[in-house]
Amino acid sequence: MSLFSWLPSGATAAAIRSEIWSLGARHRGEPLEGALTELKASGLSAERAQLLTACVRQLRRG
């Protein structure tokens, strides 16, 4: 399995890094908890959910 095979379409490594940084800024330095919280929000677009899921995977991998 290649490094990028699990990435959703449109979610590049750069987009994931950028979103993780934004999550940390919005959630007081806790991007993983922020991503999980935002995934629970109603009305989330499929693209946004895919990006947040990719962020969670990246953050859990370390």
For residue range 2-29, list pLDDT tens digits in order: 555 555 556 789 999 999 999 999 999 9
Instruction: State the pLDDT at residue 1.
Output: 45
Instruction: Answer whether residue 27 is part of any domain.
Output: yes
Task: Please say whether the beta carbons of 51 and 31 come within 8 A.
Answer: no
Instruction: Answer whether residue 20 is part of any domain.
Output: yes
pTM of structure:
0.81
Say how many domains are in the chain.
1
Instruction: Answer whether residue 2 is part of any domain.
Output: no
Name the nearest CA neighbour of 47 among 22, 17, 19. Answer: 19
- Domain range for 30 is 13-61
Average pLDDT over residues 32-58: 95
d(CA 10, CA 8) in angstroms, rounded, equals 6
Instruction: Answer whether residue 57 is part of any domain.
Output: yes
Instruction: Answer whether residue 8 is part of any domain.
Output: no
